[in-house]
Structure 1
Amino acid sequence: MSQAKVKQKSLFGQIMLWMLIPLMFLWPLSLLISYPIGRSIADTPFDQSLKNNVSNLAQQMRSSYTEHALSTWGLSIPVFDSQDQMYYQIVSSNGETILGTTKMPQPPAADAIVMNQPQVYSATLYNEPVRVAYVWLDLGNQSVIGSHFQSNSVVLIQVAETLNKRKALAREILQGVTLPQLTFLPIAVLLIWFGLSRGIMPLNRLQDSILERDTHDLSDVPSTDAPEELQPLVRSFNGILHRLRRHIALQKRFLTDTAHQIKTPLAGLRMQAELALQTDDPVEQRNSLTHIAAASERTARLVNQLIALSRTEHLAEERLELAHVDIVAIARDQTIFAADRALQKGLHIELDVPDAVILVNAHAIMLGELMKNLIDNAIFYTHTSVTVRITSDATHAHFYVLDDGPGIAPEEREQVFEPFYSVLGEKASTGSGLGLAIVQQIADMHDATIDIAYNSELTEGERHGCVFHVCMPRVASNLCE
């Protein structure tokens, strides 16, 4: 059952979407905020007008000393215009209405009355919201005031107005804000689209440059024109290309080396097989079969070492996962595995290791492969015995393999670690020349060093013997041991 094709998302579309969603959310939010701001702006002049009306009434009361003047108070206050209704009231401190509307609301309760200072509050009058200005006024000992208010000369003056003009002005303010926004919003979207299109042009050019490359072109992608945000992506991509080139080179080298090295033993196998077919002599046929068996064994060993070399080269390119391992235990296991091969050749193999655990930071399988190749190399070239030894100091662990073979001359000790290099001698034609190359690769992976020297423990003068010494750091937890 085939999986449904996943719809690819456009980066341009995603950026546009996440830029427009906040814009579409903030625009109506700005309208909601603008309306109360407009109301507040509209209230300011109208509130001041109400305060002026209250102040005018207060001034009339202070300057009026006759009954006739009392009856004309408030005539200067317009009670109705084309939009709003206005109300006024004058009451004594004990609640007696002297003039105006009797159903006016009461000012907000306060801890102390502030005299002669106009103030404003919101209320409801005749089921309609109004804005009210008021002032507490002390009229003193005026005779006409005393006849109406007896001994208390404090009065409350209020002027109320409905809110129609205020609402109309607030709407005009809101429209003045909204209409330009409605005009500029599409322009802003177009500018965002244009700017975003220009902004992602380097990404499009980078994409085109990659698509136009030849399928065999694995060179690095130029990063000079890439924006700063794309530099990490380009560097990562170039890193992948570098590893790919390296892996392809390793594969080509592996195939070339394999073809070159296997060609000779295969030719020998074919020649021995033809000799066996052309003769009826059982002895010669047996000799040919013996050579075929030996050549087959060498070819199998060569192929196995080629595969091991290829694997270590690839692992060297990757980040190897290291862990704390006991180098003594690994050396003991590899010596036991090699004992069979040594006994088959009539050789003596000895293990000289301490009883303590010596921890190193290593890949157990790769470290075992290093030891196996060094021990096999010693078994291959030694005459009588091989010694595997482990020692340690405060900071490093030391792995030695000693043999009593012909040894390696100082001028050849660097070259023996190159692939397919064999020391000239009686067994040069039978070795693969890969074991020490594998050892060097694994040592480099573990920050270890390898030294070669003559075996100074031998007493026989005709053979120098050989000592391979691998030195690698110990784990820090062992420093106190």
Structure 2
Amino acid sequence: MNKPQSLRAQLLSKLTLPLVVVVLLDAGASYFVAMHYTDQAYDRWLLDSAKSLAQEVHAQQNHVTFELPPIAVEVFRWDDVDKTFFKVESQVEGFMAGDDDLPSPAINTLASNEPFFSNGEIEGHEVRIVSVLTTPTPSSEHVLVSVAETLNKRRSMMTEILLAVVLPQFLLLFITGFHVWTGVNRGLRPLNDLAAHLAQRSARDFNPILDADVPLEVRSLTHTINDLLQRLGSTLITQQRFIENAAHQLRTPLAGLKLQAERALGADNPEAMKSALGHIKNAADRVAHLSTQLLVLARSESVSQSVPEFKTIDLVKLARESCMDWVSRALDRNIELGFDAPAVAVMVAGDEILLRELLSNLLDNAICYGNPGGHISVIIQAVPHAALIVEDDGPGISAIEQEKIFERFYRIQGSRGEGCGLGLAIVKEIADLHAARVRVVSGGRDRRGTRFEIAFSTGES
């Protein structure tokens, strides 16, 4: 499981990491620049020293000489920081003076007017070497003068330059990092205040969050939270009303059960006891029917709150099987139940249990409120879209009532039947879950009958 990342840490890393990289790159560039100019300065001194020694090379009677008094050699070599070495050699006679083990290039490889710089080692010391080629007279032999110096002063100067350049940069990095840290904390303060405010709220406080002092970037979050609070408040109110209505609906048949049970216990003859038991059965049937519908509502709500896993279902087969289950109930009321469907399968994507419950509630509603001796038709359409239609020849539903019949526990005033007002609410809930449109048409030419049409927009024939 991935560990949650701190927004503060992400902001600080994204703001300071590029700054650190820039400082390190600048420090590296400063190092090479310091090394370049340090070498350039001390190489110039080395070259001047080599040219000074070259002036002491003279031509006498067809050979060259190099004469430098011991005191001059001592002055030349004196340095309290670095050690200085030199070497003079001719093209013909070879080594003439100085330090014979000082590395030097071959004479015939050098140009007469170009100094040659190189790095080498003598007596265990790393040295910088410059070699110059001189000719005392045009007819004399070439003489190579090499001067070398250890690297202590170079390194000391380079360190001083680096400290002078890099230390202010790291100080700037520290100051900038401090301001970035305080800026990030100051920028996150509205979120911390919002979290503290929400933590102090009651679980039943769904009032909007005041965002007058909230930055614009945070207002989108507060608006989203306010929208969520509004929806949660509406859901809680609906749930509370549903629980109250369910309790009220259950109280009536349970009270009837208790009353009829007391009558049965106090009955003196079988006829009175049989009548009481009949009422007990009717009340038990109402409780069972209500509990079943409540469970269906709970199932449809749980499915709607998650990603539905629908399967492809043959609407014709499902409707035919459901109608067969309701034939005996229709016959008990002397109602003819008809079924009309295409000869081919009509496929829709959905939950089979919920779709069966949808059709069952439509049939139960039609049988319960239809006229004895009437007719109910279940029709399956394939074109222009898959549709399930249940129509009856009952008393019909007025236009005003059609807007309310899908509310939970709503019953039309003065209607017959002992329904609890959940059947059509379940139909609407399941239809919405399947992205189906519910259409009600009531009152034809004789102003009788009702037609419920469930049109599946995702169905296919």
Instruction: Provide TM-score, normalisation by structure 1.
Output: 0.76
Larger mean Cα displacement after TM superposition, 170-179 or 248-257: 170-179
Q: After superposition, what is the alpha-carbon deviation per residue over 1:280-323, rounded to whole angstroms, capped at 9, x for unaligned?
A: 35433432332232132123323332443455456555554445
Structure 1 residue aligned with 2:450: 466
Larger mean Cα displacement after TM superposition, 402-411 or 435-444: 402-411
Q: Are 1:218 and 2:218 counterparts? A: no
- Equivalent residues in 2 for 1:189-204 (5 A)? 191=179, 193-204=181-192
Task: Decide whether aligned partners of structure 1 residues 198 and 346 sit closer, same or farther in structure 2, where only a CA change above 3 A counts.
Answer: same
2:408 to 397, 419, 435: 419
CA–CA separation in structure 1 for the residues paired with 2:92 and 2:198? 92
Structure 1, gaps ≥5 residues long: 1-6
Q: Quick one: which amino acid aligns to residue 396 of structure 2?
A: G
Instruction: State the shift of 1:268 in Å.
Output: 4.0
Structure 1 residue aligned with 2:160: 172
Larger mean Cα displacement after TM superposition, 327-336 or 183-192: 183-192
Q: After superposition, what is the alpha-carbon deviation per residue over 1:116-154, rounded to whole angstroms, capped at 9, x for unaligned?
A: 112321111222110011234466624xx2xxx3xxxx4
Q: Are 1:393 and 2:383 counterparts? A: yes
Task: Decide whether aligned partners of structure 1 residues 410 and 225 sit closer, same or farther in structure 2, where only a CA change above 3 A counts.
Answer: closer
CA–CA separation in structure 1 for the residues paired with 2:106 and 2:417? 114
Structure 1 residue aligned with 2:232: 244
Structure 2 residue aligned with 1:445: 433
Cα RMSD (Å) of the superposition? 4.3
CA–CA separation in structure 2 for the residues paired with 1:205 and 1:255? 36
Q: Please say if residues 326 and 358 of structure 1, whose CA atoms lie closer than 8 Å, have aligned partners that are also in contact.
A: yes
- Equivalent residues in 2 for 1:297-312 (5 A)? 297-312=285-300
1:374 to 358, 362, 366: 362
Q: Quick one: which amino acid aligns to residue 330 of structure 1?
A: L
Q: Please say if residues 397 and 443 of structure 2, whose CA atoms lie closer than 8 Å, have aligned partners that are also in contact.
A: no
**Aligned-partner SS, 2:438:** strand
Q: After superposition, what is the alpha-carbon deviation per residue over 1:247-298, rounded to whole angstroms, capped at 9, x for unaligned?
A: 3223201122123333443444455445555653543343233223213212
CA–CA separation in structure 2 for the residues paired with 1:17 and 1:404? 74
Structure 2 residue aligned with 1:86: 84
Structure 2, gaps ≥5 residues long: none
1:117 to 105, 114, 118: 114
Structure 1 residue aligned with 2:318: 330
Q: After superposition, what is the alpha-carbon deviation per residue over 1:317-352, rounded to whole angstroms, capped at 9, x for unaligned?
A: 555444544333432343344345445555543433
- Equivalent residues in 2 for 1:230-241 (5 A)? 234=222, 237-238=225-226, 241=229
CA–CA separation in structure 2 for the residues paired with 1:94 and 1:351? 126
- Equivalent residues in 2 for 1:28-427 (5 A)? 38-58=34-54, 70-72=65-67, 78-93=76-91, 96-107=94-105, 113-137=110-134, 141-142=138-139, 145=140, 149=141, 154-177=142-165, 191=179, 193-223=181-211, 225-226=213-214, 234=222, 237-238=225-226, 241-273=229-261, 275-276=263-264, 280-313=268-301, 315-316=303-304, 320-342=308-330, 345=333, 347-382=335-370, 383-384=372-373, 385-394=375-384, 396-423=385-412
Task: Decide whether aligned partners of structure 1 residues 11 and 473 sit closer, same or farther in structure 2, where only a CA change above 3 A counts.
Answer: closer
Instruction: State the shift of 1:57 in Å.
Output: 4.5
Equivalent pairs, count: 453
CA–CA separation in structure 2 for the residues paired with 1:24 and 1:465? 80
Q: Please say if residues 51 and 120 of structure 1, whose CA atoms lie closer than 8 Å, have aligned partners that are also in contact.
A: no
Percent of counterpart pairs with the same letter?
Answer: 33
Task: Decide whether aligned partners of structure 1 residues 411 and 252 sit closer, same or farther in structure 2, where only a CA change above 3 A counts.
Answer: closer
CA–CA separation in structure 2 for the residues paired with 1:244 and 1:307? 22
**Aligned-partner SS, 2:405:** helix
Instruction: State the shift of 1:209 in Å.
Output: 1.3
Q: Quick one: which amino acid aligns to residue 388 of structure 2?
A: F
**Aligned-partner SS, 2:77:** coil
**Aligned-partner SS, 1:44:** helix
